[in-house]
Amino acid sequence: MYDDSQFNANINQNFNQDSGNESARRVQWYSVPPEHAEKLGLNTNGPKRSRKWVAGLVAGCMAVSFACGVGGAYLGNYLQDGGNSASSSQLVNGSSTTGATNTSTGTSTGSVEDVVSQVADSVVEIRTESVSYGSFMQQWVESGAGSGVIVTADGYIVTNNHVIEGANTIQVTLRNGESYTATLVGTDEETDVALLKIDATGLTPAVLGDSSTLRVGQTAIVIGNPLGSLGGTVTTGTVSALDREIELEGQTMNLLQTDAAVNPGNSGGGMFDLNGQLIGLIVAKSSGSNVEGLGFAIPVNDVRDVVEQLMNYGYVKGRIDLEMTLVDITSTQEALMYRVDRLGAYVLKVPDGSNAQSAGFQVGDCITAVGSTAVSSSSEITSALADYQVGDSVAFTVVRDGQTMTLNLTLAEHVPS
Residue pair 279/273 in contact (Cβ under 8 Å)? The answer is yes
Catalytic residue, candidates 267, 365, 376, 414: 267
Specify whether 36 is catalytic.
no
| Catalytic choice (4, 188, 192, 328) | 192
Q: Which residues contact 379 (CB under 8 A, 6 or more apart)?
A: 247, 250, 251, 252
Give the span between the Cα atoms of 246 and 1, in whole angstroms.
9
Residue 369 identity (one-letter amino acid): A
Binning the chain into helix, strand and coil, the percentages to the nearest 5 are 25, 35, 40
Identity of residue 104: S
Is 3 annotated in the active site?
no
Could you confirm whether 267 is annotated as catalytic?
Answer: yes
Options 162, 211, 273, 376, the catalytic residue: 162
CB 226 within 8 A of CB 146: no
Where does residue 55 rank: exposed (0-12), middle (13-18), buried (19+ CB within 10 A)? exposed
313-338 burial, b for 16+ CB within 10 Å, e for fewer?
A: eebbeebbebbbebebbeeeeebeee
- Residue 238 DSSP label: E
CA distances from 74 to 15, 21, 65, 104 (A): 10, 17, 14, 20
Q: Which residues are catalytic?
A: 162, 192, 267
